[in-house]
A and B are shown apart, each in its own frame.
Chain A
């Protein structure tokens, strides 16, 4: 479990996060949602220690992240995988070398063992056989999956994904969401996903936290989204008039079916 306690963050007087407290659970896709610029990436960077909060604490299970020195942080990070918004694949290395990089750096496995693990991870993201391609020669959707494969190669306990499906069409985006969710369930990982995609929320939102104006505007799960009358949430999820009409219809249906029972 990852817990944040009263996180504040400001940049030169611009207060981006104003007292965020929340729990992220293992074996669940924990979503952080909010409009662009609402501070999702900043929160994620604070969670993984790429940025220091102005005040507040981050707990990895029983460990208070803020008390660790650089070396201890690196040890925790062996259990952390992260998928970056732009995938952040090393472009001078092939797909295989990218995924193998953490193994090369941190394990004493044989070449055979490393290759087996790389191939397992590639298969897991449905990319068997692209080992020798360079990232620049693959599509964005492939790069995301290579990024996921690299993030899970050391069997992390914690997985962070920053907008994993931005720039993808809705159908492909859903496949990525489901892939992340399956991997999370299989390995009981504490997964935290940033997204501004309402489809993700409705499909994989086990534990959703809505950021707005630097504060938590709503928390709940995907089942609770439609019925909630939280104005900020409704405005975020059902952003267009078209979607607002769909929601009204859905509520109507729910009510009718309840009455007919």
Chain B
């Protein structure tokens, strides 16, 4: 079976159209949103911190190596690590990782409910299942993922410091000076535009693959893989378009 892009896109749009309607019962949606925030947020802090610290460290070392013996002042390391973290590595790499972790989780959860007829059971009760199962996840991600990205940016900058300053490439003062140099608040705005867009893409795409799963455990595995692969592609494509539009 070929991957029919228009078919999937149409079905995705109609699913999201159903999902983004007025909730039957606000309190039930609220409860579910809080639960999802916990699942997405608390469950992802450690991995985001780990990855950000290494990316910050690696980029700092890389620049130290490249700037060594050049005419560019060493405090530029702090400046470059900061902007790289804010514009690119914190939102994009964090979200690529979350597309794997959160995306596969959502696809498996919703897909499992589809296969065990939980979704049918809810439909029969009269629940708008697209809304109840998807909207809280999307909302939770749009709130929590920007927070994770913020943490990622800070930790990345700390990682850069830890890798470069104790190793003697530059001094405390120089790194700090770099961090304060040429600061553009607009870049922070870009970071949040990216994180919110990616949060929406990751959760809605993975929900889509879970919601329409058929068959058995092999199909569930495929849905989970598709959620991650397609989620990653859309995060990268989104990254490109945001860069094109906003810079």
Contacts and interface: CB of A to CB of B under 8 A. Distances in A.
Interface of A: 48, 50, 70, 74-75, 77-78, 80-82, 84-86, 88, 90-91, 101-102, 104-106, 154, 160
30 contacts: A48-B124, A50-B120, A50-B124, A70-B18, A70-B128, A74-B126, A74-B127, A75-B126, A77-B123, A77-B124, A77-B125, A78-B125, A80-B124, A82-B121, A82-B124, A84-B120, A84-B121, A86-B116, A88-B117, A88-B120, A90-B118, A91-B116, A101-B125, A102-B126, A104-B25, A105-B24, A105-B126, A105-B127, A106-B24, A154-B125
Contacts of A106: 24-25, 125-126
Contacts of B13: none
A77 B126 contact: yes
Contacts of A75: 126
B50 interface: no
Interface string B90-130: 00000000000000000000000000111011011111100
Given A102-B126, A105-B125, A154-B125, 9 more contacts: A70-B128, A77-B123, A77-B124, A81-B124, A84-B117, A84-B121, A88-B120, A104-B28, A106-B24
A77 B117 CA distance: 16
What class of interface size applies to chain B in its complex with A? 10 to 19
Nearest first, the 9 closest Cβ-Cβ pairs linking A and B are: A77-B126, A88-B121, A88-B117, A82-B124, A74-B126, A78-B126, A102-B125, A84-B117, A105-B25
Interface in B27-56: 28
Nearest to B115: A86
Given A70-B18, A77-B124, A105-B125, A88 B25 contact: no
A97 B124 CA distance: 17
Contacts of B124: 48, 50, 77, 80-82, 160
A90 B123 CA distance: 13
Contacts of A78: 125-126
B141 to A, nearest CB: 20
Contacts of A160: 124
A102 B126 CA distance: 9
B118 A105 contact: no
Contacts of A104: 25, 28
B18, B28, B125, most chain A CB atoms within 10 A: B125
Contacts of B18: 70
B23 to A, nearest CB: 10
B36 to A, nearest CB: 13
